[in-house]
Amino acid sequence: MTLRQDRRLALGGLAATALSAALPGVARGQAAWPNRPVTVVCPWGAGGGTDATARIVAAILEKNLKQPFNVVNRTGGSGVVGHSAIATAPADGYTIGMITVEITMMHHQGLTELNPTSYTPLALMNVDPPGVQVNSASPYKTIKALADAIKAAPAGKFKASGTGQGGIWHLALIGWLQAMGLKPDHVAWVPSNGAAPAMQDLAAGGIDIVTCSVPEAKAMIDAGKAVSLAVMAPQRNPQFANVPTLNESLGISYSVGAWRGIAAPKGLPADIATKLTAELKKAYDSPEFQDFMKNRGFGTTWADPAAFSKYMDAGDKAMGAAMAAAGLAKKS
C-alpha cells in the first residue's frame, strides 16, 4: 500500500467518524430502547389483582422486546410509596409502573402531592367497576326495587360495606347516592378489611348491600349466597353479561371503578413513549393477556395516552367531589 493510499484511508476514517458523531445518539453511545432490563413498579403487594396484572403485562413485554421486565412491589403509605417511586424515577424508559385509581384519591386526602399529571400516561388496560350486590334472599330482585326502597327509607336504615372508610368502593356508593339525589350518608357505611369479608357479612345477613367489583363478589354469587343487581359502568362486563348497568335500569349515567394503567415518569422522551404504548397495545390485544384477565373476571379496557389522561382527569374530579361530600377530603 502506498503512502497516498494510507492517507486516503485515514482521511476516510476521519470522515466516517465525523459523520457518526453527527448522527443522533451514536456519539453518546446510545442504543435503541430497551437495551437493558426495565423495572416495572407495582404500588401494591404481591398476589393481589394489581400485582397479577402487572406481571402478565411485564411477561408479554419481556417476550416481545427481548429484555427483562422485572416487577418490583413497592408498598406502603396506602399506595403513596409505589406511586412516588414511579414518578421520581429517571425519565429514560427503564422504570415504568402500574398506577391505580388511588392516584386520583390520595392527594385529596393530603397524603401526597402526586396526582395524574405527575406522570407520562402510556395506557389504561383494566377497569373493574363496582357492582351492587345483595343477599340472594333479599326482597329486592332488581336494582330499581332496591333504589326505590333506599329512597323511601330513613337515613341509616340500609347498611353497606365493601372496603374501609374512604376506600374506592365506599366512594362508589357515595357517588351513586348523590346521582340519585340523596345525601352521601343516606346509606350507612360499615368499614371492612376488603370485599371478601364484606361479602361474608352480606351472606350472613349482617349488612344489606356490598359495593365491590363483581369479580370480587363472584365466589359468593357462584355459591348462591349473593346476587349482583347492577354495575356502575358505561357498559356491561362481557364476563357478567346478565348484570345490567345503572344507566340501563335507572337512567343514571354515573360510573366509577378501580382501574389500572401503565405510566412512566414525567418527561419520558416521545419516541420511547410511542414505542411503549405500541407494545402495550400489542400486549393488551394478545390472547395471553385477554385469556388471563377473562379467567379472573377482570375487566379489560384500553385507552391510549390522550384518552387515559382524560379518563384520569375526569376520575380525579369525581373522586374529589365524592371525598369532599363524605368529609374525607383535606380542607385547604
Q: Please tell me which residue, 193 or 115, carries the higher pLDDT value.
A: 115
pLDDT at residue number 1: 52
Side-chain-side CA neighbours of 50 within 13 Å: the count stands at 26
> Which residue is associated with the grid cell 363472584?
218
The band of 21, judged by pLDDT with boundaries at 50, 70 and 90, is: very low
The band of 247, judged by pLDDT with boundaries at 50, 70 and 90, is: very high
Nearest to 212 by CA among 164, 144, 153, 146: 164
Reduce the DSSP state of residue 323 to 3 states and report it. Answer: helix
- pLDDT, tens digit, 9 for 90 and up, residues 251-305: 998 888 889 999 999 999 999 999 999 999 999 999 999 999 988 888 899 999 9
Measuring CA to CA, how many Å separate 221 from each of 173, 224, 295? 20, 5, 16
* Percent of the chain with pLDDT strictly greater than 90: 66
Asked if omega into 34 is within 30° of 0 (cis), the reply is: yes
Taking residue 95's Cβ as centre, other Cβ atoms within 10 Å add up to 20
Flag whether pLDDT at 16 surpasses 70.
Answer: no
Nearest to 159 by CA among 144, 170, 143: 170
Flag whether pLDDT at 14 surpasses 90.
Answer: no
Flag whether pLDDT at 15 surpasses 60.
Answer: no
* Percent of the chain with pLDDT strictly greater than 70: 90
Q: Which helix (H) or strand (E) holds 149?
A: helix 143-152
pLDDT at residue number 324: 87
Lowest-pLDDT choice from 237-241, 281-285, 327-331: 327-331
pLDDT at residue number 30: 54
- pLDDT, tens digit, 9 for 90 and up, residues 274-289: 999 999 999 999 999 9
Taking residue 205's Cβ as centre, other Cβ atoms within 10 Å add up to 10
pTM, full prediction: 0.77
- pLDDT, tens digit, 9 for 90 and up, residues 23-57: 444 334 457 999 999 999 999 888 778 898 999 99
What is the rounded average pLDDT of the residues 188-206? 91
- pLDDT, tens digit, 9 for 90 and up, residues 56-98: 999 999 999 999 999 999 988 878 999 999 999 999 999 999 9
